[in-house]
Structure 1
């Protein structure tokens, strides 16, 4: 599993991540939240080995990331970046099939098992009916589901997702969160995702890492997001929680926190 110990990342004389120490809990869905520019995406990139720590260590299964070969790591860890360049001229199925690269010898073609995995990933993301469509013709939301299917086709037990709800309308956002929960509960996938919607994090995730200015402000059970003082400090929000019939989790209602009478 992924663990970071006193990780720092500096770029251009500025600390992007500052003394970050966290460990993802196996079999859980972990939300990574924080204001824009707080280091959320950089944190995921360190976890996947795309950014090397300036200080500290990042490990997968107790092995430093630098010791892993690319294909070896890809078999245990799959990463969905915030945005990717659309591979023009390829069909949906061809793009998703690229997720199988970690399981193939050089220059080998997909076998029947690989094609079955690709078909299942397309079905899970509701893109199977568009398998032969060229990706140039897809909407942004459809393309996002293609990228997620590619991650699923990789077959890794650890999924790192950077704002997977980007470009999706509300109904598809909820469908995606249901899919993430099914992957976790039915297949025991360990999932960490950057997410901006705190209510979705509360409803669907088990644990949370709260970031601000490159530092971890809090980490632990998702109930941390029910702490009004934490949300005020990190997001400048004034919050209350309400109960909705049929929902065992509270719903966050928030407004911008404003000073009154010159006092906090």
Structure 2
């Protein structure tokens, strides 16, 4: 079994008196994609922020390799882990390359100029996301999918082997959603990047993720593979819907799909 590159145990987070995350645990292997799913307010974004060291837990701990995240500086964390929030913001006049160059700041700092290794990392990040020909374009000129790829490219320029994505397909048309998911899948399989992704779309989670964590009111109620979740009945219970999973006759992901024709609220 591969040694975890990112893990946490017993993470609990409170906002005031409200417990947003309770006793959450996770282990991420190199090249693995893990989905965090659950209704709005179930703790998905809070879990990502705690894993990234952006939110201080009241209990439990997260670790990158053998090091506790709480013991690392932001710059140290950024050398291993990149976090992409739901709606990142940058000036529209900024070019794609300028955005990606910002991803190297953790290695360059304030007083060192970009060296050959930095330039190579920037080139690799642009090529890995299919944006080499877009380097001189302003962000305002990009489609939604291209802009999201630009942000992922900036994260890759950090040379981070752990990628945390908060709803990376939200507000995108279906074509751009597929574009972003295909990139995520290729990064994991071809580059060995470990990815934790909070996502609303169950079909997308089932399609590309190796493991799924289902959260309900801040608590982890399922942690396992897609086929086990499909057989558990927990989707219907947690999301308060009716439906069924359909196994697809295909060798490639997705392996399961959600049939939505009968989805409706369930009266408790």
TM-score w.r.t. the length of structure 2 is: 0.89
Q: Distance in 2 between matches of 1:164 and 1:157?
A: 17
Alignment counterpart, residue 149 of structure 2, candidates 145, 149, 158:
145
Q: Distance in 1 between matches of 2:92 and 2:177?
A: 25
> What is the RMSD computed on CA atoms of the aligned residues?
2.0
Contact 2:31 2:191 in 1 (8 A): no
Alignment counterpart, residue 250 of structure 1, candidates 214, 237, 256:
256
Partner of 1:164: 168
Contact 1:144 1:167 in 2 (8 A): no
Q: Distance in 2 between matches of 1:236 and 1:52?
A: 31
Q: Distance in 1 between matches of 2:99 and 2:132?
A: 13
Partner of 1:32: 36
Partner of 2:198: 194
Contact 1:86 1:136 in 2 (8 A): no
C-alpha deviation, 1:74, in angstroms? 1.1
Instruction: Give the paired residue count.
Output: 261
Q: Which has the larger displacement, 80-89 or 13-22?
A: 80-89
Q: Distance in 2 between matches of 1:124 and 1:193?
A: 19
Q: Distance in 2 between matches of 1:220 and 1:210?
A: 9
Q: Distance in 1 between matches of 2:193 and 2:131?
A: 21
Alignment counterpart, residue 207 of structure 1, candidates 208, 211, 230:
211
Q: Which has the larger displacement, 246-255 or 193-202?
A: 246-255
Q: CA 1:84/1:102 → structure 2, altered by over 3 Å: closer, same or farther?
A: same
| 1:15-30 map, 5 Å | 15-30=19-34
Alignment counterpart, residue 77 of structure 1, candidates 71, 75, 81:
81
Partner of 1:175: 179
Contact 1:228 1:240 in 2 (8 A): no
Q: Deviations over 1:151-205 (max 9, x none)?
A: 1111111111111112332222222222212211112111111111111111111
Partner of 2:117: 113
- The runs of at least 4 aligned residues of structure 1 exceeding 6 Å deviation read none
Contact 1:141 1:167 in 2 (8 A): no
Q: Distance in 2 between matches of 1:171 and 1:149?
A: 19
Q: CA 1:53/1:30 → structure 2, altered by over 3 Å: closer, same or farther?
A: same
Contact 2:145 2:179 in 1 (8 A): no
TM-score w.r.t. the length of structure 1 is: 0.90
Q: SS at the partner of 2:63?
A: strand
Alignment counterpart, residue 10 of structure 1, candidates 9, 14, 17:
14
Q: Deviations over 1:10-64 (max 9, x none)?
A: 1121111112122223431101111111110010000000001012222222322
Q: CA 1:200/1:59 → structure 2, altered by over 3 Å: closer, same or farther?
A: same
Q: CA 1:115/1:204 → structure 2, altered by over 3 Å: closer, same or farther?
A: same
Unaligned runs of 5+ in 2: none
Q: Deviations over 1:88-129 (max 9, x none)?
A: 432110011111112224322222332232223223323322
Q: Distance in 1 between matches of 2:169 and 2:33?
A: 15
Q: SS at the partner of 1:256?
A: coil
